[in-house]
Amino acid sequence: MRRHLNTIYVTSENAWLRKDGANIVVEVDGKERGRSPLHMIGGVVCFGHAGASPALMAACAESGIALSFLTPHGKFLARMEGPRTGNVLLRRTQYRVSDDPALTVPIVRGIVSAKTANQRTVLRRALRDHGERKDDTARGVLQSGEERLSHIARHAVAADEVAVLRGYEGEAAAVYFGAFDTMIQGDRESFHFRGRSRRPPLDRMNALMSFLYAMLGHDCRSALESVGLDPQVGFLHADRPGRASLALDLMEELRPVLADRLALTLVNRGQVRAQDFAIDEGGAVSLKEEGRKAVLIAWQERKKRELRHPFLDETLPLGLVPHVQALLLSRHLRGDLDGYPPFIWK
């Protein structure tokens, strides 16, 4: 099994990254702020105006370490990679399957049904953990949402068209996010969730979720590239210039598990607070630097938590799940597996 490697997140403005022997060194204002052996790193994510030396970029490319640059709000800017891995035959198969509805539908069916089931699990856990503290109306919202998601998942399993499955995915999202505010237990006034908003996020909870989705997207793209798949060509998400459609596909079944549940935990436990966010004149909300640091620490800890993978029947860290799912997808495309086994959280 692949080893879970760390990701370095650089949040300090004007940081400089360089290579020192077999180590990556982060400096701010000429002072060393941290270093780590390259062989222990799986990726580097820089926010703001961080820079990197040519020697470090060459070392990262040679070692297969993805170096990504994002805005302070988590929006993707650029990514530096080494030579592509994998063989061209796998990618050619991926392209053929994406163009053939008969072959695409089973993959999309697994993604949509797993995402819906995982959203249902988030609601069930909220009922289990906080149900006794809620009034009848709140419990009713969660119970109704759980039942409707079960209904949608059953229909998704039987769907035979991608367009129909996209419709079920949208319906499930409406039900799930319609009940999301009910799961917030902390500072409800500051973190009131009015529905999903992005580009830009218009409230603190959306800003937190978008930031976590950006981190998950980085991990999913890296996982796909590590097994030789093209992150740009997906099955559920249509092709669009500049969009990593397959990475978005892989994210769908993992969002409730890795991102949404963590966002709720951070707010409900008071690990992120209203003052950790900034609101600009146009109403866009974003995490401040200290807030980003708190979230990234929790994100790294979340990825270290272990679970039993439902298909492999092996215990592994949550952070390895994107890699495992990418590997299972590649094995299906190669013909080693009859179908793609999606990740269903229990």
> What is the DSSP track for 199-261?
SS--SHHHHHHHHHHHHHHHHHHHHHHHTT--TT--SSSPP-TT--HHHHHHHHTTIIIIIIH
- Statement to judge: residues 171 and 305 lie in one domain: yes
User: Residue for token digits 């170096």?
Assistant: 67
> How far is residue 145's CA from residue 175's CA, in Å, rounded to a whole number?
6
In this prediction, residue 255 carries a pLDDT of: 94
Q: Residue 344 is encoded by which pair of tokens?
A: 């269903």
Q: Which pLDDT score, from 0 to 100, does residue 84 have?
A: 60
> Looking at the domain assignment, is residue 38 inside a domain?
yes
Rg of the chain taking only CA atoms, in angstroms? 20
The predicted pLDDT at position 86 comes to 58
Return the pLDDT at 56: 86
The DSSP 8-state label assigned to residue 186 in this structure reads: S
Q: Which residue do the tokens 């596909």 mark?
A: 249
Q: Of 27, 49, 80, which residue is a domain's last?
A: 80
Q: C-alpha angle 265/154/97, rounded to 5°? A: 90
| More confident call, 175 vs 78 | 175
Residues 13 and 35 grouped into a single domain: yes
Pair 180, 32 in one domain = no
> What are 294-326's pLDDT values in tens digits?
999 999 889 888 888 888 888 888 888 998 999
Q: 93 and 73 share a domain? A: no
Does 178 have pLDDT greater than 80? yes
**Domains in the chain: how many in total?**
2
The stretch 181-185 carries a mean pLDDT of 88
If you average pLDDT over every residue of the chain, what do you get? 86
Could you tell me if 251 and 288 lie in one domain? yes
Q: Are 47 and 9 in contact (CB under 8 A)?
A: yes
- Give the whole-angstrom CA distance, residue 136 versus residue 31: 56
Give the model confidence (pLDDT) of 256-266 as tens digits: 999 999 999 99
Domain coverage including residue 186? 88-334
Q: Is residue 344 included in any domain, yes or no?
A: no
pLDDT range class, residue 4, cuts 50, 70, 90? low
Residues 21 and 137 in one domain: no
Residue where a domain terminates, one of 80, 102, 119: 80
In this structure, the answer to whether residues 165 and 229 fall within a common structural domain is yes
CA distances from 279 to 7, 56, 189, 203, 276 (A): 28, 35, 15, 9, 10
152: domain CATH number is 1.20.120.920
* Average pLDDT for 155-173: 93
| Helix (H/G/I), strand (E/B), else coil: 28 | strand
- Among 21, 52, 80, the domain boundary falls at 80
Q: Do residues 127 and 189 share a domain?
A: yes
Is the domain of 159 the same as that of 249? yes
- Whether residue 146 is found in the same domain as residue 60: no
> Is the pLDDT reported for residue 32 higher than 60?
yes
- For residue 44, the SS3 value is strand
Q: If pLDDT is split at 50, 70 and 90, which confidence band does 333 have?
A: very high
* Helical residues (DSSP H) of 85-203, grouped into ranges: 88-98, 101-130, 136-158, 162-180
Query: Would strands 15-20 and 51-52 be described as parallel, antiparallel, or unpaired?
Result: parallel
Distance, CA of 94 to CA of 106 (rounded, Å): 14
* Statement to judge: residues 70 and 218 lie in one domain: no
What per-residue confidence (pLDDT) applies to 2? 54
